[in-house]
Amino acid sequence: MYAVISRNNIQLPPGTVVRMPGTWQDYCVLRDSRGDGSIPRMKFRDGEILLMSPMPRHGREAHLLARVVEILLESEDRNYETFTPITMDIPESSGIEPDYCFY
């Protein structure tokens, strides 16, 4: 499979990372073109768009790390909520999609 990136379609083979120059508006168009999907992961900062199509190993490791955080929070008897994936934006400045978020 080849990488395909257009305003309407993003297809990246697992394990692919693409860095390209772009504006905030370019990032928003690409982000919105995925609809409710979470692949590829996207990041925008300092005029650069980063696209990543994670491999299954990445998901397993992220889940394991999230479980460690949950166990630590529970051992401290803290209230928390977990979200995955979620898009966090500071308009015109940066945007990121972490694997897990804890509130």
**Nearest one of 87, 97, 95, 85 to 23, comparing CA atoms:** 95
Most confident range, picked from 37-46, 59-68, 83-92: 59-68
The C-alpha atoms of residue 50 and residue 42 are separated, in whole angstroms, by: 6
Max distance between CA atoms of the chain, in angstroms, equals: 47
- Check pLDDT > 80 for residue 76: yes
pTM over 0.75: no
- Whether 53 and 12 have beta carbons less than 8 Å apart is answered as yes
| Number of neighbouring beta carbons within 10 Å of residue 2 | 7
The C-alpha atoms of residue 94 and residue 16 are separated, in whole angstroms, by: 21
**pLDDT the model gives residue 82:** 86
**pLDDT the model gives residue 61:** 84
pLDDT in tens, 6-58: 777 787 878 888 899 999 988 888 888 877 766 788 889 889 998 888 777 87
- Check pLDDT > 70 for residue 1: no
